[in-house]
Structure 1
């Protein structure tokens, strides 16, 4: 990645080129499941090491603006047609990968946690099967870090999320397979997300 960032710093020299770079990585990472984790890691690295700045800001600034464009209509996407929901799910899981290291020091930690909660709320507010499957994947990915962040601020948001999921299991007309997935998720959380005595972000993200 270091060599790649150095190469890009020499070639991405205009506002248009930076926006095209962000859009290319973003589109691939949100639409291709196998590229999601790698795309998020690449974005994290370039955010710290790509030196070019445009009138819209740094690589990270432009990336956040691109994410915000898909974040704002999250409720409409979650209740849209199957194709719209599929695109939204790719975005949700990419942002989960991108924001996973919540322990990193920085002023944006609270905003990142709030953004992830907003995505989760959109999914659970429209409890069709594919939205619920995405919510399960999302919580398996981010649940430990989110709960730690909330508990660190004396908040019980994860209890509220799990209670919401319990209500969905009882009331939502989801399939038996999805209901089983939700119950297994509740069980996983009750065992502290299956964590051992060491709970670093890198170890949690690898489980």
Structure 2
């Protein structure tokens, strides 16, 4: 009886952790959609892009409130993913003699490496364009010219390549996370699951393609200093 109780408690805790993982990921997904909207002002020119970000800084309380929520969300997301992964590995102390991936997807199998890569991308992006402490060698960060910081940075080949590759990893990560969100929350309906998954994957691809479009546009000479 005690063993059954412990197993039930373990399952309940795992479900709770997966729900936290899904909800924190969903929160970041919605933020990325809004962030993409902000960044697409790049294509409206320097004045529009700079004015948009100047307006955001006019309300420090709101700005830091949003940042606080995002920081809490990423801490929850990373923390729960580490616990879930550790439990999964501990439940299989011996390696399989023959490893088979059953009823899974490429994205699901690669979440453990896309997650850290996306995390590295996030840290670098903040240090690079938010803080200005990781500008490419030879470039100075201008705290008043956000547009110029972006364009000059993406003119450096390795920086632009890193952003494009990182957005590829983000696409895979978001596509799996978005498509599995409803299953994690118990909202399963065979009649709409396939359509919902297609929409989730398409949305992830569109969001990340939008972010990748900026370094590509600099390469193509569409966005210039």
Q: TM (normalized to structure 2)?
A: 0.27
Task: Compare relative contact order (CA 8 Å, sep 6+) and give the higher one, 1 or 2.
Answer: 2
Q: TM (normalized to structure 1)?
A: 0.29
